Amino acid sequence: MSFFEQPALQYATGPHPHYAFIWLHGLGADGRDFAGFVETFAGITPKAMRFIFPHAPTQAVALNGGVHMPAWFDLYGTRPEDPQDEAGIQRASLAITDLIREQAGHGIPAERIILGGFSQGGAVALYTALTGPQHLAACVGLSTYLPLAHRFAEGLPHVNDRTPVFLGHGTDDLMVPYAFALKTHALLGTHGITAELHSYPIAHDISDTETDDLRTFLASALARNDLAARG
């Protein structure tokens, strides 16, 4: 049975896309929430890009009283010591890994794919990129954290240790506290992964300044990717 209940939204900025940008929405939302990213980020490279916005399946979320909503995995609490839905996180990660593999069949290998997300979607994006088997062009996590952090000590592939990573977070975020971003950034540094942490005076949201910073970051990452491919 497929993880996804409906196909992802997809937009291409031109024929034969060279890059793909896979973006995962937050809890209770769907892929349509970030469709505006097509216009926002289409100009980060002169090459055509495919934007892919998958929809999380609908499932019960314990933190919200068991209410069914779009969710990448179940949530039991917001404190660091609360248990995590390890099986659900890994199931979502495998589904995104398969989605990345599918792009190779469309002429876009993993090393030309940006994977990112917001909040719960960002958690899946970070976990998939930093513990998965595929080398990516860049990884983005906004208003999020790295789940199952203990798995970093289990000898996982770490093929993206040198992949550009952008972390953006609001210092006034009460839903996913800024301390989570600091902890994630420190953890990655401990394991030799250099991630850029950008903070903003906002709550659980995305600001125009953050979008501008991310656009600059991704344009630079793809330019370096192009240069490496030519070299």
Known active-site residue 173:
yes
Strand pairing report for 67-70 and 58-61: antiparallel
Report residue 141: phi and psi, to 5°: -130, 115
Nearest residue to 93 (alpha-carbon basis) of 161, 180, 151 = 151
- Pick from 215, 212, 226: which is nearest to 47 by CA? 226
Q: How far apart are CA 157 and CA 219, in angstroms?
A: 27
User: Is 198 noted as a catalytic residue in this protein?
Assistant: no
User: Is 119 considered catalytic here?
Assistant: yes
- In our burial notation (b when 16+ CB lie closer than 10 A, e otherwise), range 203-212 reads ebebeeebbe
Q: Which residue has tokens 């049975």? A: 1
Active-site residue identified among 55, 119, 169, 185: 119
Contact 112, 104 (CB under 8 A): no
Marked catalytic residue, from 158, 204, 207, 226: 204
Q: How many CA atoms lie within 13 A of 186 on its CB side?
A: 6
HEC secondary structure over 123-143: HHHHHHHHHCCCCCCEEEEEC
- Cα separation of 57 and 169, whole Å? 25
The tokens 């933190």 sit on which residue?
63
Catalytic residue among 30, 74, 85, 173: 173
Catalytic residue IDs: 119, 173, 204
